[in-house]
Structure 1
Amino acid sequence: MGLARTHAMALLGLTGALVEVEADISGQLPGMFLIGLPDAALSEATHRVRTAAANSGCPLTRNRLTINLSPAALPKHGSGFDLAIAVACLAADELISADSVAGVVHIGELALDGRLRPTPGILPAVVAASRLGHTTVMVPAGSADEASLVPDMRVIGVATLRDAAIWHGARLEPIPVDAIVPPADPAEHVEEPDLVDVLGNDDAVLALQIAAAGGHHVFMLGPPGSGKTMLAARLPGLLPDLDAAASLEVSSMRSLSGHALGRALITRPPLEAPHHTATAAAMVGGGSGQIRPGAAARASHGVLFLDEAPEFASSVLDALRQPLESGVIIIHRANATARFPARFQLVMAANPCPCGQYGSTDLDCTCPPSARRRYLARISGPLLDRIDIQLRVTRVTAAQLRLAADEPRRSSATARGRVIDARAAAADRLAGTPWSLNSEVPGPWLRGPQSRLGGSITATLDRALERGGITMRGYDRVLRVAWTIADLDGVQRPGADHVGQALYLRKGMTT
């Protein structure tokens, strides 16, 4: 009896750190002590491990057991260390091979009967283990398919601690046990709504295609029933499939949020639509113990939709200002820092006033001007200045409805094809730069010699800047949208009409 070591993974955001789990048997007094900065859930692992080992037919020694999680200064959270602690203790008692457990990363939570439960964050943990040079990982059988999504990684799926001990050399007879399988995620079977369902609002439909082609943010202002939510729900269907890196990141974020992935990575952009009562922690991430991703992080490479945006707390909305610029959410705690991706498209929808009828042609608004100003002022100017496309959406009249019903409408698949072609044109133009979408291109590059537009083309935009109608940031964002419109039209450079259309989409909410 002596000392044995194995490895587990600790996650901070999507970043994984390797944890060495050491188990030492010493002295004759009974006891099991866990050290190395565990949280409350991890501190309870001693009770789960001892009971699970006994019920698996491989009870732990009654002598003093000391388990150290190293590095000791790194915070460790959750129950995913149970399997590593159990096999390290069995190896220290020479019931299984110490050399075998030393070469494997173990991830999994133990039930009291010895079965292994699927653990949130398996995919990012295995990705981190692979990046750190490990090639073999042991996980619960219910998470084996998810772990197998990481290439060049040997995945050992075990249903029970007894199976894990047998694999590591224990002289036990296997006992067939049904593995604990994660519940099916109903979101996997939801079909994306189609753009062909939208009648009327041609300007808004075109604006959605421009937003999808360039990765631009959108703000829609209009009365209830004008189709704002319907339009926003169709934006993810216009976006192309995720590339390999984005697919792995989105899938890792979904795994970290506790959703099962199954046998395939997620290939479609996500849509997150938090309720307006969401807190800042729910929006960008946080938590008093383990740092969890918020809606903005889960929407990375997809769409974050804020319906009834003025009803959100101002502090929650303003928390999005920094991620909109940097594409990263960094959450600082006293003993840890977590980073989450936040490269999402923001779509906000709002009524024009508290009663919702201001500007409507069929109903009268009952709100005084001061109430209307206060209502929209809940969305700060600096946040609005970061929104590329701001347009007003109106209700569809009966005449428009009859006219639109007889006209051919563009489906999401057809619109997505246009978007893919426009993105390919932008990627070719931006080849050799760090950017691939027009929304990512900085202002100095747009105004530089490599992409500067002539004075006659930007004359209208220049006058708007001189009169204070837009800020310098707004000026650059109009140029980005103009390039996207040109890409959709299949031309090499924007013309005056493209710049004018982009300026209208920027100022359409106030016209």
Structure 2
Amino acid sequence: MFASVLSAAIFGMEVREIQVEADVSDGLPSFTMVGFPSAQVREAQERVRTAFKNNRLSLPPKRVTVNFAPADMKKEGAGFDLPVAAAVLAAAGILKPELLSRVLVVGEISLNGEIHGVSGILPRVIRARELGLRFCIIPEENIREGKLVRDMQVFGVKTLEDMIRCLKEPEAYLYTEEKEMDIQDDPTENRIDFADVCGQEGARRAAEIAVSGFHNILLIGPPGSGKTMLARRLPTIMPRLTFEESLEITKVYSVAGLLTESDPLIRERPFRSPHHTSSPQALAGGGRVPGPGEITLAHRGVLFLDEMPEFSRKSLEILRQPLEDKEIHLSRAAGTYTFPASFMLAAAMNPCPCGFYPDMNRCRCTPGEITHYLGKISQPLLERIDICTEVPSVSFSKMKKRTPGEPSAKIRERVKTVQEIQRKRYQKEKFCFNGELDGRNLEKYCVMTAEADRLLEQAYEQFQFSTRAYHKILKVARTIADMEEAEKILPEHIGEALAYRAYDKKYWS
């Protein structure tokens, strides 16, 4: 007798449907799996067979063949245990094969028949909704994650018996009703706030511009000046996530297996701060079938590289392509995988190995050591950073006064206003922020006055900017103009944007 059920596999961020077919026929008793299963999937036959025995589900002494279609993709992971069990039960006549029609099943089975959670449930359920399936059967551990897809019926099962009851009578199946989650509820307020930052008015202004236009930012200053403190507070002035954005980020973390069982929905913008010893594979995503790396885990949030020159050259150069394309492409023998990478890069560094250059009264570095240190960051990567600002040491008087700075909530309201201006302007485009403007649209959206145009021309000739640097200056100037609700870019906007490029000439000249 033949039966089949639909399951799904995760390849990168892509969900591919896998038809799990089972056939029970006369012949020597055996359990065979075909269809390019990995060693992990082949082990399912022993888990399923033992779970059947421990739950008093006796299979007839016949030949059992399980096939995973299509056969040209290698099947990996333990999520195929449950669909294999369902297909075999139907092929053996314990379940009616028609009960498995238009149902997605995924889960891992233990030897006693209990069902364990697996990663990547959310994108699978979303795919089931797109296919118009009747319902999904997933592990009880993943039920809150599955129910984030509100217009798809999802059942959570704890045991093999639960799955059988659910398939026989899905409408009457009793399961714990999870509390509905509402994205409109304000998440827990951050314990960190921009009000904690003492002084640093210039760096705070640069940070607000960077977040308003989704520009990449580099903070340069001596040790202890507050670079890391500023960077960690960038997500607190970003607008709250919409439900669609939360779902998009949650999909990434679901595939990476980083969601919590109690509250799987990602409600706050990611802030990823990998250590400088991180390998290129940790940043981009590694493995034969790669998963999300730090670049992808920072999607819709901030990727912070503290002590940027301490990262290996290879790790830093990996950033160049995703910073331009807002996605990262990884090629492996099994195929090419695409991951989302629309993140804001924030980096911090000292101006020299000891950290005190150009204060020659304190700096003890030789010119050669400074050149070697700064040379760890290539010029092409620097030109992909829109804003480069200095974070000087805080004076004693400001530290003594400890006057609270402007709180994050107030800055966030201004940022929301500026970003709304950009969304209305780019509503017919495929991007939303000034930082995402491409060369074709610069002249259309970055209209300057004659005086501003002359100022930019003089700076371009004097500093010998590259074309990419010219584009970055225009994008930042456009954001500064939006902050003042100016329709055209004025000379003062160009002047401030140029100031955020002057520092890299100061240090790297």
TM-score of the superposed pair, with normalisation by structure 2: 0.92
User: Is the CA contact 2:117–2:139 (under 8 Å) kept in the aligned structure 1?
Assistant: yes
Listed one character per residue, the Cα deviations across residues 478-508 of structure 1 (whole Å, up to 9, x for unaligned) are 1111111111223222211011001101223
**In the alignment, structure 1 residue 462 sits paired with structure 2 residue 461:** no
Aligned match for 1:419, one of 415, 425, 444: 415
User: Is the CA contact 2:48–2:81 (under 8 Å) kept in the aligned structure 1?
Assistant: yes
User: Is the CA contact 2:446–2:474 (under 8 Å) kept in the aligned structure 1?
Assistant: no
**In the alignment, structure 1 residue 141 sits paired with structure 2 residue 140:** yes
Aligned length: 493
Listed one character per residue, the Cα deviations across residues 187-231 of structure 1 (whole Å, up to 9, x for unaligned) are x97935210000011111111111110000011111110111101
Pairing 1:54-65 to 2, within 5 Å after superposition: 54-65=53-64
**In the alignment, structure 1 residue 478 sits paired with structure 2 residue 473:** yes
The amino acid of 1:268's aligned partner reads: E
User: Is the CA contact 1:310–1:378 (under 8 Å) kept in the aligned structure 2?
Assistant: yes
Partners of 2:174 and 2:300 lie apart in 1 by: 44
Listed one character per residue, the Cα deviations across residues 355-381 of structure 1 (whole Å, up to 9, x for unaligned) are 2222348x6222211111111111111
User: Is the CA contact 1:221–1:509 (under 8 Å) kept in the aligned structure 2?
Assistant: no
Partners of 1:176 and 1:418 lie apart in 2 by: 45
Partners of 1:435 and 1:342 lie apart in 2 by: 14
**In the alignment, structure 1 residue 374 sits paired with structure 2 residue 346:** no
Partners of 2:414 and 2:2 lie apart in 1 by: 62
Aligned match for 1:504, one of 469, 491, 499: 499
Pairing 1:119-198 to 2, within 5 Å after superposition: 119-169=118-168, 191=190, 193-198=192-197
Query: Which residue of 2 is the match for residue 215 of structure 1?
Result: 214
Query: Which residue of 1 is the match for residue 339 of structure 2?
Result: 340
User: Is the CA contact 1:457–1:499 (under 8 Å) kept in the aligned structure 2?
Assistant: yes
The amino acid of 1:90's aligned partner reads: L
The amino acid of 2:420's aligned partner reads: A
Q: 1:132 to 1:507 in 2, by over 3 A?
A: farther
Query: Which residue of 2 is the match for residue 430 of structure 1?
Result: 426
Partners of 2:48 and 2:161 lie apart in 1 by: 12
User: Is the CA contact 1:360–1:394 (under 8 Å) kept in the aligned structure 2?
Assistant: no
Query: Which residue of 1 is the match for residue 437 of structure 2?
Result: 441
Query: Which residue of 2 is the match for residue 185 of structure 1?
Result: none
Report the RMSD for the aligned CA atoms in angstroms.
2.2
Deviation at 1:51, TM superposition (A): 1.5
Query: Which residue of 1 is the match for residue 182 of structure 2?
Result: none
Deviation at 1:175, TM superposition (A): 13
User: Is the CA contact 1:75–1:336 (under 8 Å) kept in the aligned structure 2?
Assistant: no
Pairing 1:23-422 to 2, within 5 Å after superposition: 23-169=22-168, 191=190, 193-261=192-260, 262=262, 265-288=265-288, 290-360=289-359, 364-403=362-401, 405-406=402-403, 409-422=405-418
Partners of 2:320 and 2:294 lie apart in 1 by: 14
Partners of 1:427 and 1:5 lie apart in 2 by: 47
User: Is the CA contact 2:449–2:491 (under 8 Å) kept in the aligned structure 1?
Assistant: no
Listed one character per residue, the Cα deviations across residues 128-181 of structure 1 (whole Å, up to 9, x for unaligned) are 2222232310001111111011132110111111110122339xxx9999xxxx
Deviation at 1:264, TM superposition (A): 6.2
Q: 1:65 to 1:190 in 2, by over 3 A?
A: farther
Deviation at 1:254, TM superposition (A): 1.2
Deviation at 1:393, TM superposition (A): 1.2
Partners of 2:74 and 2:215 lie apart in 1 by: 38
User: Is the CA contact 1:330–1:337 (under 8 Å) kept in the aligned structure 2?
Assistant: yes
Identical residues among aligned pairs (%): 38
Structure 1, gaps ≥5 residues long: 178-187
Deviation at 1:250, TM superposition (A): 0.2
Partners of 2:152 and 2:272 lie apart in 1 by: 31
User: Is the CA contact 1:199–1:401 (under 8 Å) kept in the aligned structure 2?
Assistant: yes
User: Is the CA contact 1:192–1:237 (under 8 Å) kept in the aligned structure 2?
Assistant: no
The amino acid of 2:119's aligned partner reads: P
Partners of 2:223 and 2:149 lie apart in 1 by: 46
Partners of 2:189 and 2:407 lie apart in 1 by: 18
The amino acid of 1:273's aligned partner reads: S
User: Is the CA contact 1:135–1:152 (under 8 Å) kept in the aligned structure 2?
Assistant: no
Q: 1:470 to 1:368 in 2, by over 3 A?
A: same
Listed one character per residue, the Cα deviations across residues 301-340 of structure 1 (whole Å, up to 9, x for unaligned) are 0000011111111111101100001011111111222211
Query: Which residue of 1 is the match for residue 179 of structure 2?
Result: none
Partners of 2:66 and 2:359 lie apart in 1 by: 68
Deviation at 1:274, TM superposition (A): 0.7
Name the SS of the counterpart of 1:37 in structure 2: coil
User: Is the CA contact 2:2–2:24 (under 8 Å) kept in the aligned structure 1?
Assistant: yes
Deviation at 1:26, TM superposition (A): 2.3
